[in-house]
Amino acid sequence: GMIWSECKEIWEEGPREYVVHLWNLLDFGMLSIFVASFTARFMAFLKATEAQQYVDQYVQDDDLSNVTLPPEVAYFTYARNKWLPSDPQIISEGLYAIAVVLSFSRIAYILPANESFGPLQISLGRTVKDIFKFMVIFIMVFLAFMIGMFNLYSYYLGAKYNPAFTTVEESFKTLFWSIFGLSEVISVVLKYDHKFIENIGYVLYGVYNVTMVVVLLNMLIAMINNSYQEIE
């Protein structure tokens, strides 16, 4: 029903007018993710049905542990911890979780009608624009330190107390979560007695935290506060 409603809206307003409103894009994205989730789950159901049909047709023994099954059929007897990362059921569950979060955002449709929540709702949209402006500077600083710390510690894989900065992925995760205070100083400590590298790591990590947490985040808060005061 919701998909049919969106199709009618696209037909009546036209695609160009439809995409101008961000709420329409939110609805379209939410419904697309729901459809993708249900499609992936249906694919998993079809594959499992095919495996069950093979068992019903060719296997006489009720205990499947005593039977040698083809790999594509035996796969459906495995516990979840042995499933492939690309299993349609796993993908379906992940997409469904995202879609459920987006679906609750539809409550925001009615908030502007309330005198208390209306300004908050409108300022939230303005805040998102401020964040996008802020992200330009944020990404520049973030990439600079991420690449720098990776170049510094990439040669010490296995020689650190944790894998932080030894790969690009670990560098990203460590620096991102350090913004919220969820990374430790031990991330820059080496097991070797290479004090020069370690001291540079301390300095870069300290400068990064001061720049991000003290300067840039407070700048973002000031931008958001200014936007809210204008709307209020």
Q: Length of the chain in residues, anyone?
A: 232
Per-residue pLDDT, 164: 86
Per-residue pLDDT, 39: 95
**Which of 74, 109, 144 is at the close of a domain?**
109
Considering the domain architecture, whether residues 126 and 78 belong to the same structural domain is answered as: no
Considering the domain architecture, whether residues 97 and 144 belong to the same structural domain is answered as: no
Per-residue pLDDT, 91: 94
Considering the domain architecture, whether residues 131 and 81 belong to the same structural domain is answered as: no
Per-residue pLDDT, 172: 92
Whole-model pTM: value is 0.66
Residue 160 CB coordination number (10 Å): 21
What CATH number has the domain bearing residue 135? 1.10.287
Considering the domain architecture, whether residues 79 and 181 belong to the same structural domain is answered as: no
pLDDT digits (tens, 9 = 90+) for 187-210: 888 888 888 988 998 999 999 989
Considering the domain architecture, whether residues 12 and 61 belong to the same structural domain is answered as: yes
Per-residue pLDDT, 124: 74
**Which of 109, 136, 168 is at the close of a domain?**
109
What are phi and psi for residue 167, nearest 5 degrees? -135, 165
Domain that holds residue 128: 115-230
What are phi and psi for residue 190, nearest 5 degrees? -105, 155
Q: Which residue stretches of 59-116 are H helix?
A: 71-74, 88-104
Total domains, the chain: 2
- Positions of the chain with pLDDT under 70: 61-66, 111-117
Beta strand spans in 16-156 (E): none
Considering the domain architecture, whether residues 143 and 191 belong to the same structural domain is answered as: yes
pLDDT digits (tens, 9 = 90+) for 28-58: 899 999 999 999 999 999 999 998 888 888 8
**Which of 77, 109, 141 is at the close of a domain?**
109
